[in-house]
Amino acid sequence: MEKTTNFDVIIVGGSSAGLSAGMCLGRALRKVLIIDSGKPCNQQTPHSHNFLTQDGTTPKEILSIAREQLAEYKTVELLADLAVNGIKTDSGFEITTQSGKSFQAKKLVFATGIKDTMPAIEGFAECWGISVIHCPYCHGYEYSNEKTGILANGDVGFETSKLISNWTNNLTLYTNGKSALTAIQTESLQEHGIKIDEKVLKQVVHENGQIEKVMFNDDTEAHLTALYARLGFTQHCAIPEDLGCEMTEQGHIKADMFMKTTIPGVYACGDNITPMRSIANAAYNGSVAGAALNMELINESFS
């Protein structure tokens, strides 16, 4: 197995959070390796919003600019590969990649994101991030006052319906089976003009990811412009948990306000630690992780 020179920090994941952490650490003169597999969860998303100076830009374009800027720093190295294993060593950590390379570092940052669990509905995955969406702050303005659906049930369906009603009053909650709403929740939604439909979805009919209609198991259909969905997820990378990082009840990596995990020397940032999924937020907490980690290295040098 190929060995390389040790790094101060290895960052696993090279999207917004990882690149932001890398820039902060590179500017702090740390020797940084960023390992990225090139499969961000927002790769289908046509436009990014709520990020000042980049409103309307595609996530791909934002990452391209970030990588170009990072390439100017001799302190930062980017590697296109997939991290598959990580272990604690006497001097820090060792990360092994899919290609058989092995790298060592004093500290680790995981900016690995999450993997959405797609339902078995034909056409759903092809529309995810385009017209089947999760965040009204990212997409709601573009679909305001349009005929909109929500795929959810129970408390999640109720709270999501309340949220999305801010952007449109033409709203239907699809519970995808028998409603788990309470009587009070049902009455509240109906009072606000939000329809409830218990039919089971079988297909999202679309053109290049843009919804035209949804089909149900009884062969009826409904025309929609957008469909919000609250999906389950898994961590995109198992290494943090393998190292012993504590997870939250929701399945995120547990991290404090400085992005420190419960394992000393291991930080995490981006979608893998929070339900607040946005490029702006990922870039922010990546920068925090970089600054906090650098301070930790400085303090250790004085101890």
What domains are there in the chain, each with its CATH number?
2-115+232-302 (3.50.50.60), 118-229 (3.50.50.60)
- Residue 76: other Cβ atoms inside 10 A: 24
What's residue 44's pLDDT?
Answer: 67
- Amino acid identity, residue 263? I
What's residue 38's pLDDT?
Answer: 85
Rounded Cα–Cα distance for residues 197 and 205 (Å)? 18
- Residue 14: other Cβ atoms inside 10 A: 25
**Chain segment 132-150, per-residue pLDDT in tens:** 999 999 899 999 999 999 9
pLDDT in tens, the chain (303 residues): 455 558 999 999 999 999 999 999 999 999 999 999 987 766 667 777 878 888 878 888 999 999 999 999 999 999 999 999 999 999 999 999 999 999 999 999 999 999 999 999 999 999 999 999 999 998 999 999 999 999 999 999 999 999 999 999 999 999 999 999 999 999 999 999 999 999 999 999 999 999 999 999 999 999 999 999 989 999 999 999 999 999 999 999 999 999 999 999 999 999 999 998 889 999 999 999 999 999 999 999 998
**Chain segment 230-247, per-residue pLDDT in tens:** 899 999 999 999 999 999
Cα within 13 Å of Cα(149), Cβ side: 27
Element housing 202 (H / E): strand 201-207
